[in-house]
Structure 1
Amino acid sequence: MSQLPSCETLLLESQGGVLHVTLNRPESRNAMSLGMVEELRAVFKAVRDDRDVRALVLCGAGGHFCAGGDIKDMAGARARAQAEGADAYRDLNRAFGALLEEAQSAPQVVIAVLEGAVLGGGFGLACVSDVAIAHINAKFGLPETSLGIIPAQIAPFVVKRIGLTQTRRLALTAARFDGREAERLGLVHFAESDAQALAERLSDVLEQVRQCAPGANALTKALLLATDSQPLSPLLDHAAGLFAAAVVGAEGVEGTMAFVQKRAPQWAE
């Protein structure tokens, strides 16, 4: 596995091809400080090209996922803005948007385990996950407008996740809702009733991920994300080339042979 960065706001644990990333500022319900943003970006960068890392699991310490942006950081940016102009606010906000872009495009499967507060920036992180698993009592919301600010960086990701109509309702009312409603909206894939059920669901999902070839997963994820922005015919041309290369590539050959020989492929052993 790649060398992981040293972190003060995150706990990192690698096990069986899975990197568990725990947001670790429980005293603030894991509010997203600039330091945490920078550390998360460093983690995603460190493992981006490492196919030994099959999945990243994001969770929070102390019973909460993430309560949004850190108000103290905003106060610090306010002080800098008074001295330097509005760019201090812009830079702080845009750094979080860059994190969301990098998390969404990570070649690995990104799994979010959501408990307690899932607000603002935490809501955004949930929206860029490939698989989201929530406790039924988790509290979701976009509280920004109730604070006189806007969900600037997360808005595009929320719209893509649950659609424009629902995003408008949630962003313009700052309504709170639970894990079952998050499942109904399509924000999360599973809503579980207790900690054991959460752990069992995560174990099941990770076992499913291990059945899939890591290189094929990375290419498939990039192809799926490209459907948002690429014209159809050129995208299908590109996909055909990817398919042809995959069939004769190492994973394609191994997967075909494993099927014929009625055995598990090497990546699933």
Structure 2
Amino acid sequence: MNQVYTQVSIDQRGVANLVLNRPEVHNAFDDLMIAELIQVLDSLAANDQVKVLLLSANGKNFSAGADLNWMRSMAEKDYQQNLDDANELALLMHKLDKFPKPTVAMVQGAAFGGAVGLVACCDIAVASDTASFCLSEVKIGLIPAVISPYVMRALGERQSRRYFLTAERFSADTAKTLGLLHEVTTPSELTDKTNGFIDNLLQNSPAAISAAKTLLHNIYNRKISNNVVAHTTQAIAEIRVSAEGQEGLSAFLEKRRPGWLPHTSQDK
């Protein structure tokens, strides 16, 4: 695939770094960038080598949201063309949200508009204390519609009422308090703090992590019913008899490293 707006690398640990790479326009995205991101996510999801996805960005800012020229062009198109365009952005958010491996967002600078949606779709989000966020759509006569399910899940309905309507800018510390971010650190420590989360993820069973993500999606915000209880009991029974479930339990009982971790000289 010919990548124009993104950079992708996979290190020896299986960490795929997907980098937004339009720093000259603050990584603002348009229809071409959205299409490329969808293709990249599909490719990485199908790659068995990938164990963790890191979403980051080149330049001063994570992403300024929608590209101004793209928005100008959409204003000249009809309803169906705008619907098709919105469906592509919705597909991107869905694929990131449902990515089968753990996802980590590393945020610096501004994350505005749709970029807040990207952060909300990741399992873990870390930002520098100089980062700032804004759901700015109503300032230009629009609404944060496509990203709203993911942002509201992170912020809650009450706080979303405030920030969807005021379009006020808020700090990384506020974003952490609201639930959008998990950690805030200094710019110089951002990479190390993010790698700390990645190191923790890499210690765990890849199959169990994927199953845990599926579990979260299946039971979130559902009433605790007989169906939900049945789903959870089936899920734990299935993972217990799976190959990695058996290996993990055996390794724990035998006080050894599980097979999904690299062996060391101490294992001999």
Indicate the TM-score class for this superposition, using the shorter chain for normalisation: over 0.9
- Aligned partner of 1:248 among 224, 241, 248: 241
3-state SS of 2:66 partner = coil
Aligned residue in 2 for 1:24: 21
3-state SS of 1:63 partner = coil
Aligned residue in 2 for 1:220: 212
- Is the contact between residue 74 and residue 89 of structure 1 (CA under 8 Å) also seen in structure 2? no
2-side partners of 1:253 and 1:96: how far apart? 40
For each residue in 1:222-268, what CA deviation from the matched residue of structure 2 results, as whole angstroms up to 9, or x when unmatched?
11111236553212212222211211211011111211221221222
2-side partners of 1:208 and 1:109: how far apart? 11
Q: How many aligned residue pairs are there?
A: 260
3-state SS of 1:103 partner = helix
Aligned residue in 1 for 2:266: none
- Is the contact between residue 58 and residue 110 of structure 1 (CA under 8 Å) also seen in structure 2? yes
2-side partners of 1:207 and 1:200: how far apart? 10
Counterpart residue type for residue 139 of structure 1: S
3-state SS of 1:59 partner = strand
Matches within 5 A, 1:33-52: 33-52=30-49
For each residue in 1:160-187, what CA deviation from the matched residue of structure 2 results, as whole angstroms up to 9, or x when unmatched?
1110111110111111011111111111
Matches within 5 A, 1:1-269: 5-15=1-11, 16-79=13-76, 81=77, 85-195=78-188, 197-228=189-220, 230-232=222-224, 233-269=226-262
- How many percent of aligned residue pairs carry the same amino acid? 31
Following TM superposition, by how much is the alpha carbon of 1:7 offset from its aligned partner in structure 2, in angstroms? 1.2
1-side partners of 2:24 and 2:75: how far apart? 23
3-state SS of 2:29 partner = coil
1-side partners of 2:231 and 2:160: how far apart? 32
For each residue in 1:58-104, what CA deviation from the matched residue of structure 2 results, as whole angstroms up to 9, or x when unmatched?
1111121111111211222233x1xxx21112221221111111111
Following TM superposition, by how much is the alpha carbon of 1:46 offset from its aligned partner in structure 2, in angstroms? 1.5
Q: RMSD value over aligned CA atoms?
A: 1.4
For each residue in 1:79-137, what CA deviation from the matched residue of structure 2 results, as whole angstroms up to 9, or x when unmatched?
3x1xxx21112221221111111111111111000111100010110111100000111
2-side partners of 1:203 and 1:48: how far apart? 20
- Is the contact between residue 108 and residue 187 of structure 2 (CA under 8 Å) also seen in structure 1? no
- Is the contact between residue 135 and residue 179 of structure 1 (CA under 8 Å) also seen in structure 2? yes
Counterpart residue type for residue 193 of structure 2: R
3-state SS of 2:230 partner = helix
Runs of 5+ unmatched residues, structure 2 = 263-268
1-side partners of 2:82 and 2:228: how far apart? 37
Q: Relative to structure 1, is the Cα distance of residues 124 and 52 closer, same or farther in structure 2, using a 3 angstrom cutoff?
A: same
TM-score normalised to structure 2 length? 0.93
- Is the contact between residue 78 and residue 88 of structure 1 (CA under 8 Å) also seen in structure 2? no
- Is the contact between residue 38 and residue 92 of structure 2 (CA under 8 Å) also seen in structure 1? yes
Following TM superposition, by how much is the alpha carbon of 1:142 offset from its aligned partner in structure 2, in angstroms? 0.5
Aligned residue in 1 for 2:265: none
